[in-house]
Structure 1
């Protein structure tokens, strides 16, 4: 056997026995059910096989379909019409890790620099017709050319939208991870406040938060920050700027636990907030509250955006809810920190039970500057559950 390959029989459901030691969940069964959903969706689109490409920045497909947190630069999964799953990994440590953690995979291949090992090995599968590719826009040209060489006439079509739609609704296990991430985000915000209070610069503030989330069990954290007043038009990566009296200090913290993230947006003030800051921030709080109040299954995402924007319009700030000043009024959350649906008034999406989103009316306010507040919520059968619990008022530190 080629030492860059590993083989394992994909068992029938009655043979599946791998269990999560903490809660007894049959992990392999979970992944097989997800694969079945993708194959069903593909069949409806007359797609014969599925190809999932993940890179070091976008690991969602590998996590969702195999629970595999790879270490190398990329990872691929090939699913043939019979439901068999083959994996390609990009470094020896991932090869060893996959063989140990995923014995149920049909085949595991360590890719070569020319990215041809997988394509050559998988010629025997007889793939033809349409291949649905998730991450087609991320696919390296070398790999694309090897696929075209090994499978002449194969039509590659993007299934990214289909994948996003299937992943919208979260399972109880996914929600459990997101709740833990939200609780850790609350704790990280307290660290953020302490660091601002201690007079640390933006680099140091972010380092303190990073320590808190990593010690709390997060494998990753996306975070941006803003310090200042009317000069701040948005949040950004850190600098060595130190908050001074009167500065607004704002952040977005996004811990990932077991791949799943929650997000919290908060603003505080170094010293005592001014009347203008308090009055302006009250509009943001009201905007967030009005949106959360109407959220439930069947409500359109556009209505959620409009509920936020109308609060600003009623106070004469309608120009500041446009794309000139703000990107979105929130978005979905899951294995990536900015998933569909995007909350804006043009969205065609509709809320469904067990969708997870962040609602954040973040924008620039003239005379005050950029302000943020945002909650991670899960849609329930008759409303939403707010997962982030940290004080959302304009804290003086």
Structure 2
């Protein structure tokens, strides 16, 4: 993915903060809930511990491990200076020896001792740069929008494949393998996925060895990435005719999802969006279940490039802004039917939240 606009934004943010160097360090873990600093600045996913340095003249230097990854990074980022190193903290200390005001992003994800070495080298001259990295990552570009749309198309195609092949007796891990193959074949560069079925689920987990049965409620989160832009598709299906209670509870959660989408407008607080969804559940008699351990969040940002607005919770006082791409999902455990997934990936434009899916999620029936 082109990182030109993000890099320009990062240069401006660093200049406005009075910095003469900005550093981002990546573990290459690629957590879909967090931005990857090197990916944000270069558009290229590192395969090992890596870092970038944006100096006072705006020139980009990238330090990579293992050293054999230098050629790949040079092809991806031809305008940057790429160097293979064995010791990232030591190389950073050398590069930053003359810098007086430094912003650093990504230290919180490093192993403790490694982060401590970097902090020791620059502590008196550095500030936390994580928020600047997030702001740069959230720049709304045509490239990022196109990647998100393609990722959603991949997720929907994978889910349609699930509906076509899932059957009682199939193991969860077999179904997960099928979806991974589909996602990769369609162009996903990563695919985080949770999937499991049960008669009364208490959560959602990675696929296991359990054989699916008639009457199971199957919950799945398909989370593919295209050029570093993740999206998430939360869906629920049932093997055989659903109970009236499941139909009713799913419809209630669907109303909560729609209320959250309607509330997600530029300038609104993230907490307001969460409260609106919680209110729908409270009115249905499930107010006591709008908290841990019955649910985690009502949605969340999507790294590896940007994770704004963060977790959709009642205590997140952040502001919803145009260009944000995240998932809204009032999914949770209900005492009547177990764990149910409902929600949509959205993008915020001037009007509000626009679902990126071609059709809203519904309670799908397999083999009725």
TM-score, with normalisation over the residues of structure 1? 0.84
Question: Equivalents in 1 of 2:350, 2:89: separation in Å?
Answer: 48
Find out whether 1:99 has 2:68 as its counterpart.
no
Deviations 1:271-322, CA, capped at 9 Å, x for gaps: 1101111111111111111121233222222221112111100011001111
Question: Equivalents in 2 of 1:258, 1:153: separation in Å?
Answer: 34
Find out whether 1:62 has 2:38 as its counterpart.
yes
| Alpha-carbon distance, 1:217 to partner | 0.5
C-alpha contact 1:115 1:142 (8 A) present in aligned 2: no
Q: Which has the higher contact order (CA 8 A, sep 6+)?
A: 2
Find out whether 1:135 has 2:77 as its counterpart.
no
Deviations 1:303-347, CA, capped at 9 Å, x for gaps: 211121111000110011113311110012243696533211212
> What is aligned with 1:155?
125
> What is aligned with 1:108?
82
- Structure 1 residues 62-71 or 261-270, which shifts more? 62-71
Deviations 1:165-188, CA, capped at 9 Å, x for gaps: 332342121011000001111001
Q: 2:142 aligns with which of 132, 157, 172?
A: 172
**Counterparts in 2 of 1:332-347, with a 5 A limit?**
332-335=301-304, 339-347=308-316
Q: Per the alignment, do residues 213 and 152 of structure 1 end up closer, same or farther by CA in structure 2, a change over 3 Å counting?
A: closer
> What is aligned with 1:239?
208
C-alpha contact 2:263 2:273 (8 A) present in aligned 1: yes
Q: 1:51 aligns with which of 20, 23, 26?
A: 23
Find out whether 1:385 has 2:354 as its counterpart.
yes
| Alpha-carbon distance, 1:145 to partner | 5.7
| Alpha-carbon distance, 1:200 to partner | 1.6
Q: Per the alignment, do residues 75 and 366 of structure 1 end up closer, same or farther by CA in structure 2, a change over 3 Å counting?
A: same
> What is aligned with 2:14?
42
TM-score, with normalisation over the residues of structure 2? 0.90
**Counterparts in 2 of 1:121-132, with a 5 A limit?**
121-122=94-95, 126-128=98-100, 130-132=101-103
Q: 2:55 aligns with which of 37, 61, 80?
A: 80
| Alpha-carbon distance, 1:396 to partner | 1.2
Where does the alignment leave 5 or more consecutive residues of structure 1 unmatched?
Answer: 1-19, 21-26
C-alpha contact 1:115 1:146 (8 A) present in aligned 2: no
C-alpha contact 1:35 1:83 (8 A) present in aligned 2: no
Deviations 1:365-397, CA, capped at 9 Å, x for gaps: 112101001101111211332112355111110
> What is aligned with 1:222?
192
Where does the alignment leave 5 or more consecutive residues of structure 2 unmatched?
Answer: none
**Counterparts in 2 of 1:153-302, with a 5 A limit?**
154-197=124-167, 199-230=169-200, 232-302=201-271
Question: Equivalents in 1 of 2:92, 2:333: separation in Å?
Answer: 50
Question: Equivalents in 2 of 1:235, 1:281: separation in Å?
Answer: 16
1:238 is paired with a residue whose SS is: coil
Q: What's the C-alpha RMSD, in Å, of the aligned pairs?
A: 2.3
| Alpha-carbon distance, 1:195 to partner | 3.5
| Alpha-carbon distance, 1:146 to partner | 5.3
The size of the alignment, in residue pairs, is 362
C-alpha contact 1:170 1:356 (8 A) present in aligned 2: no
Q: Per the alignment, do residues 100 and 354 of structure 1 end up closer, same or farther by CA in structure 2, a change over 3 Å counting?
A: closer
